[in-house]
Structure 1
Amino acid sequence: MCGLAGFWQLHGGAHGALLQQVQAMSVQLTHRGPDDSGVWCDEAAGIALAQRRLSILDLSPAGHQPMHSACGRYVVVFNGEIYNHLDLRERLLAEGAAPAWRGHSDTETLLACFVAWGVERALQASVGMFAFALWDRQQRALTLARDRMGEKPLYYGWQDDTLLFGSELKALKAHAAFHADIDRDALALLLRHDCIPAPHAIYHGVFKLRPGHLLRISADAPRDVQPVPYWRYNDAVSAGLRNPLHVTDAEATDALEAQLSASVEAQMLADVPLGAFLSGGIDSSTIVALMQARSARPIKTFTMGFGENGYDEAVHAKSVAAHLGTEHTELYVRPEDALAVIPRLPTIFCEPFGDSSQIPTFLISQLTRRQVTVALSGDGGDELFGGYNRYLGARTAWERMQRLPWFARQAGAGALRAMSPAAWNRWFERVKPLLPKRWRLATPGDKAQKLADVLTLSSGHAFFLNLASQWKDPGSVVIGAHEPVTLLTDPAAWPHTDNLAHWMMAMDAQSYLPDDILVKVDRAAMANSLETRVPMLDHRVVELAWRIPLHQKIRGGEGKWLLRQVLYRHVPRELIERPKMGFGIPLDSWLRGPLRDWAEALLDEDRLHREGYFHPAPIRQKWKEHLSGRHNWQHRLWTVLMFQAWLEESQRVSS
C-alpha cells in the first residue's frame, strides 16, 4: 500500500527541475507511505515518477520503487497488493518466463508479467487492488491502470503540455503547472451524491480513472486517447444472470463460503501485523469469522462506539468477538473526540467529500493503526448480496406504488411530510413493540421523508436516482452549473436486467461503492498509514455473487440471506439478528449544538454571496428548518459544509 505520483512533460526537461517537481508531489503523499520513498526521471522523455511506500510485503530494499523490470524496458510505481502474485510466479516459471528474482514483492512479480504477457493479459491474470503508472522506455508510452472494483485511487489530467497523475489530488496540485480552477458541474454532482463520481473531479481538466480501466498514452499521439476497460462489471452481471447457479441452499452456502474463504486467506498474506474492523454486523462478522477459522492465534479486531442510542454497535461487536475468540479492542468516542476530527477533514480528503461517516471511519482507522498495519473490512456485502433497505422488496414496492392513482400518491406524500422526522421517530418508538421485526427501523423519520419523495416519481430508475440523491436539483443551488451525465443517468451504461433490485445492486456497485464507500475508507485509513483490504471485492467473489439467484440473496423481507447462512455456521444467529445500522454519528443534533457556530460561519449569507459558488437562499432555508427541528437536513447541509471547509483550506494553502 503506497502512494504514487508523476508527470510527463512532452518537451522534456532538465534533470534537476524534473526531480524537484516530482519530489514536491511525493511529499504530499507521505502519509500513504511513511516507510520509504523513491523518485526516477528521464530528462530526454520528460517523464518523472515518485512513490511513497508503506511496506507490507518484502520489507527489504528489494521492494523499493520506482522499480525497473529485469530486462530494463519498464519502470513502474505501484500502489496496492496483488494477492495471487505467488501463483503468478509459478505460472511464469512453468512457462520459462520467470526472471532471476531479486526479492519477493508483488510489484516485481507484476513487472515480470508485463514483460512476459503484456499489460492487459497481466491485469486479467491478477487478483488484487491497485493503481499504477508504467513507463515503457522502448515505446515511449505511459500506461495508467486501476483495479477492477476501484479500491485504489488514481487521478490524472493534462495541464498545458504536462500530464499529471497521482494517488491524490494534493500531489497534482504540488506541480507548478497545475491550474486550480473549480469545476462547477462537478460541484453539482457533489451536492447530489455526497461525492464526485468518476471520471469527474473537482478541478477542470482533472479526472479519476474509472475502475477496471487502463489508459495508454504514446508520445506519437499523447492527447488522442481515452481510457479503455480491461474488465467490465456489467459483463460480470450479464454472465452471472445468463448462467445462474441451480443448486440447493446448502450447496450455494458451501460455494460462497469456499470462495470467500479463499479470498480471505489470500488477503491475510502480510509481513506486518494484521487485523480487522468489526462492527458486529453481517459483513464484518463474516470476514472476521473466516479469518479466525484460518488463524492459529486470535485475530486482532477493532470496533468503536459513541454510546448514544441509535449509533452504538460496539456492544454487538464485543459479543461476536467473544464468541469467535478474537483479541478485541474497543474505543468509546466522546463527542469532543469526533468533533476534533472535523477541522482535519479538508486535508484528509483531497477533494470535497460529504459522507459524514468519514469521521468514525477515520477514528476506527486511527485506533486500529496503533496495533496493526493492515486491516480487513467487510465492505461490498450490501451491494453484492442485497443488504441495503432499498433493495428489500424494491420491485414489489414500486409495483404497488404504480397501482395507486396519482392523486392518492400525491396525498400520501403530503401526509408523510406533514410530520417532521423527529415526530415520526417518536411515534415509531411508541408503537415499536407492536410492529413486526422487519419494520423496526433505525431511523424511521428519515425513511418516511424518503418515501414521500419517491411516491410521485414516474419510473423505477427515477426511484433509485432519487434515493441516491441528497440535493434533488443541485443545478438550482450551484451557480452556473450544468450537471453532467453520469453512470446513473446514462441508459447506455446500465446493466441489462429487468429486475429493479438487481439493477439497483449493480448500479450501487459501480457508483456508490467506488465513489463514496471506497474513497472514504482509503482516505481515512491512509491518513493513518493503515492499509485496508476488502475480501468481498475479489472479482471472483463478485462474479460468483452474480450467479447466485436473487431469492438466495433476498428472502422473507431480509437481505443478504445467503451471506447470513455462511455466518451462522460460525456465529449464533441471536448475536447477529437486529435492525441494520449505518456507521454514522449523531450529526443532526451536533449541527444544532456544538457545531452550530462553525456551521453558521461557513453558511453565512454574505460569505456565500462573496464566494459565488452557491445561491444562498435554498441553503439558508434548509439551515433554518434544520435548526428549528422541523426537518432533518443533516446530509444536505453537511455536503455544503464540507465544500465550504475544503474551499477555505484550499484558499489558505494557496495564499
Structure 2
Amino acid sequence: MSGLCGWIGNGASAADNRGLIEAMASPMGRFDASPVQTLQGRSSAVAVAAAGASAQLYQNGALTVALWGQAWLVDARMAQQAAEQGIGKTLADAWRRSPQLACASLSGAFVLAIIDEAAGEAMLAIDRMGTLPLSYQLAGEALVFGSSADTIARHPLTPARIDPQGIYNYVYFHMVPSPGTVHANQQRLLPGEYLLYRQGRIETHQYWRMRFEEHGNKSLPELKEEFRDVLRSSVRAAIGGQQVGAFLSGGTDSSTIAGTLCEVSGAPAKTYSIGFEAEGYDEMEYARIASRHFGTEHHAYYVTPDDVVAAIPKIAGVFDQPFGNASAVPGYYCAKMAQADGVTRIFGGDGGDELFGGNERYSKQHVFARYERVPGLLRKAVLEPAVFNFPAGEHFKLVRKARSYIEQASVPMPARLETYNLLGRYGPSQVFTDEFLAGADAGTPLASLSHTYGKSEAGSLINRMLELDLKITLADNDLPKVVKACELAGLEVAFPFLNDQMVAFSARLTPQQKLNGTQLRWFFKEALRDFLPNEIITKQKHGFGLPFGVWLQHHKPLQQLATDSLTDLKARKIVRGEFIDQLVGQHLSEHAGYHGTMVWVLMMLEQWYKQREA
C-alpha cells in the first residue's frame, strides 16, 4: 500500500537507520507495488511509498521533508517557488517561518512530515478532511509514525499491543474513531491537525477547522452559478493528468461527479456501478438513468455471495484496524473493475451529504428539536403527564408514537443520534465478557461524540451535526472505506467534493439552504435541477449497501465463513459465547437484515485478527 512512515529521536548511524526504515516501509508496497524512497540521518529516518508526484522527499543537511498524497500549494508565490525549487524546499522554508503556515499552505489530500535533527524537532500533519491517515506513538524520547499501524509495529520501540478500548469502540461504531486506535499508546491525527515534537515531547494543534458563515446574503442564482463553477474546477483539478473514471451508484453525489466529469473533459466519462441480486438492495437502474442522461461509458458488475466470501479476508487484511463497514466489499469490486479497464484514478462522491445536508437523520433530528422549543413548564406539567399517564395508552398507536417521540426528543444531543445503536440495543454486558469489560470503559464512545460535538462553534443544529459527521461519518468511516477498497484494487481515488473551495463554499450556505424544514439538500438539488435527471433528484438515498444478512440465510459458504469466524472469536474471550450462539441461532432467523450487521461486525473483527496473525 502507498504511505509514509518514519521516526525521530532514536538511532546510531545513517547506515543502521536505513535498514530499519526499509523494514518499516516494507508493508507499504503490499498491494500496489509502489516504489519506496527513503531518507535517513543519525537519529531519524523517513520513507514514502507512492508513484510519481504523490511522493515528495527533500533533504538539506539535518532537515528532511516528506510529503505523500495529491497535494498542491494554495499561495501563488509559494507555488511559484515550488515550481522553481521544488515543493520540499518550499515547505521547509515555510516550516522555518511557521509550522502552521507550512500545513495551511497545502491543499488536497496529504500526509506531511518535517524533521529537523539539529534542533531535535519535527512536525506531522494530515489534510483538512482527514483523507489520508497518520498514526504516531511516543516511546521514551522517540516519536515513531506511520500511515499504517503495520509500519509502526516494525520499529523495535513500538511493538503492537491491542487496546481493549479500541476493540470496544470498534464494536460500538463499526470502526475505531480517531484520535484513538486499536493499539495501546498509539494515536491518530485528527483532520486538519498537526503535531509538534520537541526533544521528546509532543503537542497537537489545529491548523484548520470548519467555520460556518450562517447568514449568507447571496441570491439563489448567484449561488447556483458559483457552485457550478466550483464543481467544475474541483473535478478538473482532481483529474491531475490521470486516466480517470467515477463511481456511479445512481445517487445525487455520484451522478453529479460523473456528469461534471463528462462536462469538463468533453468526452464520455468512464463510470462504474455495482448491483446485487437481492430485492431492495439493487440501484442499478438509477445508475443507468444517470449514465444515459450524461452519455457516460458505463460498466456494471453484479456482486455475488461467492464474491463476498472471496473478498472478506482481503478486506480485513487491507485495514490496519478492525473495520466493519460492509460497503467496502462492493467498493472493492467496483474499483477492481475500473482498474482492469485502465483507470488509474477513480472519483468518489463522498462528502456531499456532510457538506450539503443529505443524511436522513438531519431531518429527523430537526423534528425532535422542535420539542426543545416547547416551554419547559408546558412539557413537564401538561404534555408529558397527559401522554405517559393516558389510560391504556400502550393500546393506542397515536399515544405510543407520542411517547416514543418525547422519549427520544428528551435525550440531549449528540447522544440522541445513538438511540438505535446496535451495541446499545443488545447491551454491552450481554455482548462482552466480564474479563474484557474490565479493561474498557463503556462510556467512552458517547463521551468522544460529545467532545467532538461540543467543540463546534456553529450556531445551528444542522451545522453542528454536519461538523460532527465530517469527522465521525466521513473521516473515520467513509473515506477509509473507499481509500482502502481502492488501494486493495491498486487504484488511486479522489474526492472532488472535498476540494478546499467546495468545502468553503458549503460553509457559506445558510442552515436553511442545507435543510429547508425537513427537505434535505435543498440548495444542492435546486442548483442541479436543470443538470441531473429528475429521477435522481427525487429518489430515496441508498448507496452500495451489501445484502449480507439476506444472503447469509441461504448461501452455505458464506454461512460457513461467518460461523467459523464467530466460533474462533469465542476463544479470544472478548465476546460471550452464549451471545454468539444466540446471534447466529435465534436473532438472525428473526431479522436477518438487522442482526446480520452484528454478525458482520464480529466476523470482520475475527478476520482482522487472523490477517494480523498470518
TM over 0.5: yes
Identify the residue that residue 191 of structure 2 maps to in structure 1.
Answer: 211
Identify the residue that residue 643 of structure 1 maps to in structure 2.
Answer: 605
Identify the residue that residue 600 of structure 1 maps to in structure 2.
Answer: 563
Residue 508 of structure 1: CA displacement? 1.0
Identify the residue that residue 121 of structure 1 maps to in structure 2.
Answer: 101
Q: Kindly tell me: are residues 152 and 289 of structure 1, through their superposed partners in 2, closer, same or farther at Cα, counting changes over 3 Å? A: same
Assess if the C-alpha contact under 8 Å between 2:348 and 2:495 holds in 1.
Answer: yes
Assess if the C-alpha contact under 8 Å between 1:406 and 1:456 holds in 2.
Answer: no
Identify the residue that residue 151 of structure 1 maps to in structure 2.
Answer: 131
Cα distance in 1 between the residues matched to 2:236 and 2:134: 27
Give the stretch that moved more between structures: 470-479 or 285-294: 470-479
Task: Give the match's secondary structure for 1:153.
Answer: coil
Identify the residue that residue 332 of structure 1 maps to in structure 2.
Answer: 302
Out of 236, 240, 247, the residue aligned to residue 269 of structure 1 is 240
Q: Kindly tell me: are residues 93 and 514 of structure 1, through their superposed partners in 2, closer, same or farther at Cα, counting changes over 3 Å? A: closer
Q: Kindly tell me: are residues 112 and 290 of structure 1, through their superposed partners in 2, closer, same or farther at Cα, counting changes over 3 Å? A: farther
Q: What pairs up with 1:422-501 in 2 under 5 angstroms?
A: 455=408, 458-467=411-420, 470-471=423-424, 473-474=427-428, 477-478=431-432, 479=436, 480=438, 481-483=440-442, 484=444, 486-490=447-451, 493-497=454-458, 499-501=460-462
Flag structure 1 segments of 5+ consecutive residues without an equivalent.
58-62, 417-447
The letter for the 2-side match of 1:30 is G
Identify the residue that residue 67 of structure 1 maps to in structure 2.
Answer: 58
Identify the residue that residue 574 of structure 1 maps to in structure 2.
Answer: 535
Is 1:374 aligned to residue 345 of structure 2?
A: yes
Q: Kindly tell me: are residues 99 and 505 of structure 1, through their superposed partners in 2, closer, same or farther at Cα, counting changes over 3 Å? A: closer
**Residues 216-275 of structure 1: per-residue CA shift (max 9 Å, x gap):** 112x3x1x3221111123xx13xx12xx212333222223222222222222222x3122
Cα distance in 1 between the residues matched to 2:430 and 2:57: 46
Is 1:256 aligned to residue 255 of structure 2?
A: no
Q: What pairs up with 1:500-539 in 2 under 5 angstroms?
A: 500-539=461-500
Identify the residue that residue 610 of structure 1 maps to in structure 2.
Answer: 571
Q: Kindly tell me: are residues 492 and 291 of structure 1, through their superposed partners in 2, closer, same or farther at Cα, counting changes over 3 Å? A: closer
Q: Kindly tell me: are residues 64 and 254 of structure 1, through their superposed partners in 2, closer, same or farther at Cα, counting changes over 3 Å? A: closer
Residue 517 of structure 1: CA displacement? 0.6
Residue 469 of structure 1: CA displacement? 6.0
Is 1:633 aligned to residue 595 of structure 2?
A: yes
Identify the residue that residue 439 of structure 1 maps to in structure 2.
Answer: none
**Residues 544-578 of structure 1: per-residue CA shift (max 9 Å, x gap):** 21221222222364311211223323223134421
Assess if the C-alpha contact under 8 Å between 1:80 and 1:130 holds in 2.
Answer: yes
Identify the residue that residue 7 of structure 1 maps to in structure 2.
Answer: 7
Identify the residue that residue 155 of structure 2 maps to in structure 1.
Answer: 175
Give TM-score scaled by structure 2 length.
Answer: 0.87
Assess if the C-alpha contact under 8 Å between 1:413 and 1:453 holds in 2.
Answer: no
Identify the residue that residue 226 of structure 1 maps to in structure 2.
Answer: 203
Cα distance in 1 between the residues matched to 2:590 and 2:452: 39
Q: What pairs up with 1:322-401 in 2 under 5 angstroms?
A: 322-370=292-340, 371-399=342-370
Residue 30 of structure 1: CA displacement? 0.3
The letter for the 2-side match of 1:230 is Y
Cα distance in 2 between the residues matched to 1:414 and 1:645: 46
The letter for the 2-side match of 1:599 is A
Out of 76, 79, 83, the residue aligned to residue 65 of structure 2 is 76
Count of residues in correspondence between the two structures: 588
Q: Kindly tell me: are residues 350 and 568 of structure 1, through their superposed partners in 2, closer, same or farther at Cα, counting changes over 3 Å? A: same
Q: Kindly tell me: are residues 306 and 412 of structure 1, through their superposed partners in 2, closer, same or farther at Cα, counting changes over 3 Å? A: farther
The letter for the 2-side match of 1:7 is W
Cα distance in 2 between the residues matched to 1:619 and 1:575: 41
**Residues 430-481 of structure 1: per-residue CA shift (max 9 Å, x gap):** xxxxxxxxxxxxxxxxxx9xx8997485224321133566545547644221
Identify the residue that residue 20 of structure 1 maps to in structure 2.
Answer: 19
Residue 334 of structure 1: CA displacement? 2.3
Assess if the C-alpha contact under 8 Å between 1:215 and 1:228 holds in 2.
Answer: yes
Identify the residue that residue 283 of structure 2 maps to in structure 1.
Answer: 313
Cα distance in 1 between the residues matched to 2:549 and 2:472: 26
Assess if the C-alpha contact under 8 Å between 1:192 and 1:474 holds in 2.
Answer: no
Identity %: 27
The letter for the 1-side match of 2:274 is M
**Residues 573-593 of structure 1: per-residue CA shift (max 9 Å, x gap):** 134421111321111123333
Residue 156 of structure 1: CA displacement? 0.9
Task: Give the match's secondary structure for 2:503.
Answer: helix
Task: Give the match's secondary structure for 1:258.
Answer: helix
The letter for the 2-side match of 1:22 is I
Out of 141, 144, 157, the residue aligned to residue 164 of structure 1 is 144
The letter for the 2-side match of 1:226 is E
Identify the residue that residue 425 of structure 1 maps to in structure 2.
Answer: none
The letter for the 2-side match of 1:92 is M
Is 1:92 aligned to residue 78 of structure 2?
A: yes
Give the stretch that moved more between structures: 245-254 or 521-530: 245-254
The letter for the 1-side match of 2:131 is E
Assess if the C-alpha contact under 8 Å between 1:413 and 1:456 holds in 2.
Answer: no
Residue 108 of structure 1: CA displacement? 4.1
Identify the residue that residue 421 of structure 1 maps to in structure 2.
Answer: none
Flag structure 2 segments of 5+ consecutive residues without an equivalent.
none
Cα distance in 1 between the residues matched to 2:82 and 2:161: 47
The letter for the 2-side match of 1:28 is P
Residue 35 of structure 1: CA displacement? 4.0
Cα distance in 1 between the residues matched to 2:84 and 2:457: 47
Identify the residue that residue 268 of structure 2 maps to in structure 1.
Answer: 298
The letter for the 1-side match of 2:362 is Y
Task: Give the match's secondary structure for 1:79.
Answer: strand
Q: Kindly tell me: are residues 110 and 293 of structure 1, through their superposed partners in 2, closer, same or farther at Cα, counting changes over 3 Å? A: farther
Identify the residue that residue 39 of structure 1 maps to in structure 2.
Answer: 38
Q: Kindly tell me: are residues 109 and 487 of structure 1, through their superposed partners in 2, closer, same or farther at Cα, counting changes over 3 Å? A: farther
Cα distance in 2 between the residues matched to 1:140 and 1:268: 39
Cα distance in 1 between the residues matched to 2:467 and 2:562: 36
Cα distance in 2 between the residues matched to 1:336 and 1:110: 50
Cα distance in 1 between the residues matched to 2:129 and 2:485: 18
Assess if the C-alpha contact under 8 Å between 2:249 and 2:287 holds in 1.
Answer: yes
Assess if the C-alpha contact under 8 Å between 2:137 and 2:158 holds in 1.
Answer: no
Q: Kindly tell me: are residues 308 and 129 of structure 1, through their superposed partners in 2, closer, same or farther at Cα, counting changes over 3 Å? A: same
Residue 187 of structure 1: CA displacement? 1.3
Task: Give the match's secondary structure for 2:528.
Answer: helix
Task: Give the match's secondary structure for 1:641.
Answer: helix
Assess if the C-alpha contact under 8 Å between 1:194 and 1:639 holds in 2.
Answer: yes
Cα distance in 1 between the residues matched to 2:570 and 2:283: 42
Identify the residue that residue 591 of structure 1 maps to in structure 2.
Answer: 552
Assess if the C-alpha contact under 8 Å between 1:464 and 1:504 holds in 2.
Answer: no
Give TM-score scaled by structure 1 length.
Answer: 0.82
Assess if the C-alpha contact under 8 Å between 2:194 and 2:205 holds in 1.
Answer: yes
Cα distance in 1 between the residues matched to 2:394 and 2:125: 46
**Residues 168-208 of structure 1: per-residue CA shift (max 9 Å, x gap):** 11222233333322111111111111111111000101111
Q: Kindly tell me: are residues 349 and 98 of structure 1, through their superposed partners in 2, closer, same or farther at Cα, counting changes over 3 Å? A: closer
Cα distance in 2 between the residues matched to 1:28 and 1:414: 60
Identify the residue that residue 384 of structure 2 maps to in structure 1.
Answer: 405
Assess if the C-alpha contact under 8 Å between 1:4 and 1:51 holds in 2.
Answer: yes
Q: What's the Cα RMSD here?
A: 3.1
Q: Kindly tell me: are residues 476 and 199 of structure 1, through their superposed partners in 2, closer, same or farther at Cα, counting changes over 3 Å? A: farther
Cα distance in 2 between the residues matched to 1:335 and 1:517: 23
Out of 45, 49, 52, the residue aligned to residue 49 of structure 2 is 52
Assess if the C-alpha contact under 8 Å between 1:54 and 1:529 holds in 2.
Answer: no
